Amino acid sequence: MQDSAINLLRGLVERYSPSGKEDEVGYFLSSRMEELGFLVKRDIVGNVIGEHGDGSPRVLLCGHMDTVPPELPVRLEDGILYGRGTVDAKGPLAALVMAASGLVNDGHSGTLIVVGAVDEEGMSTGVKNLVNDGLEADYAIFGEPTNVETITVGYKGGLVLKIDCETETGHSSAPWLFKNAIEKAMGIWHQVKSLQLPEEDSESRFHSVSYCLRRIKGGGIGSVVPSSCQILVEARIPPAISVDRLSAELLALIDAYRVDNPDVNVYVEILGHTEPYLSDKKSPLVRAISRSIWRNRKAKVGLINKTGTGDMNIYGRATGTPTITYGPGDPHLDHTSYEHIGVQDYLDSITVLKGALTDLLLLSGQN
């Protein structure tokens, strides 16, 4: 099993698959999952979906096949696999596949559904299609790097705004005569990032809203006062605040800015949003993984909330299914130029997941 697990992970990592270009890695994963005993299909958006067994409980194991760019050299050295996606999130995806395949070989009750999803790093097209297709499960585990001894039970939500500012232009030798669109956009940005709602806990990174200025586009060539500027603002939203609540506050803030600056045209578009999600820490799913971590690592289990956003948010909220995120790898290596994963941690996570699934299926079958 060890060689098979390492070969699967390396095969996934060697097939570079930025969002929107998951076909090659999808065909590879489909073939390997068929060899491991799953009944495999591809849905309309390109998700790889493998099933084994029948009846209840139905357990969804979902990881994503896409990565961020750029491609990185792949090498295995001193027990460490380097390459794009080793951590985020082909390592966790491979661990889910191999853990489930262990139960296929040993026999199990219930239904295992293993998904290699597309576009998690983009617009989450993959998981949204699972929801639209009505994929039902009693429990769901999403594969993302948490480290072997930690379970993610909460993610912030997200909101992305595109804000355009337009002004009358003129010669840059007399900037006092004209409104600079870049400066005006920065004025909006400073008001946005200073916004604080009563529901926030300013002392907590997780329970407060965080803002990131992701892009600025403005100005041009020549001696001209900039007449247009576009900024992209991303907010991460804590569980106490809904997307609608924060959106309303931000739009009201911008409306007030328009009133105070009648000579500035401001246009706002919401490009994407995801609600926050918190899992029940006392659910059978959390208990099963916690017990398996303790059995196999003899370590205190960490239940953590993360300031990021994942596919867990979308599926868990849409379906009401008890949902957590778990997988090998250091999340601080996500999207870095030195992304890598320890092979032993990857193998240990497979053991943890297989033990947790065994407990979960047996417990549910007895109930």
Q: What is the DSSP string of 179-243?
A: --HHHHHHHHHHHHHH---TT--TT-SSSS-EEEEEEEEE--SSSB---EEEEEEEEEE-TTS-H
Residue 107: what are its φ and ψ, rounded to 5°?
90, 145
- Which token pair is 41? 């299909």
Residue 320: what residue type? G
Residue 66 known to be catalytic: yes
Catalytic annotation present for 120: yes
Q: Which of 22, 88, 119, 120 is catalytic?
A: 120
Q: Catalytic one among 22, 66, 88, 339?
A: 66
137 phi, psi to nearest 5 deg: -150, 155
Are 350 and 87 spatial neighbours (Cβ–Cβ below 8 Å)?
Answer: no
Q: Is the dihedral of CA 315, 317, 321, 327 positive or negative?
A: positive
108 and 364 Cβ atoms separated by less than 8 Å: no
Bridge partners (DSSP) of residue 140 are 60, 323
**Catalytic (active-site) positions:** 66, 120
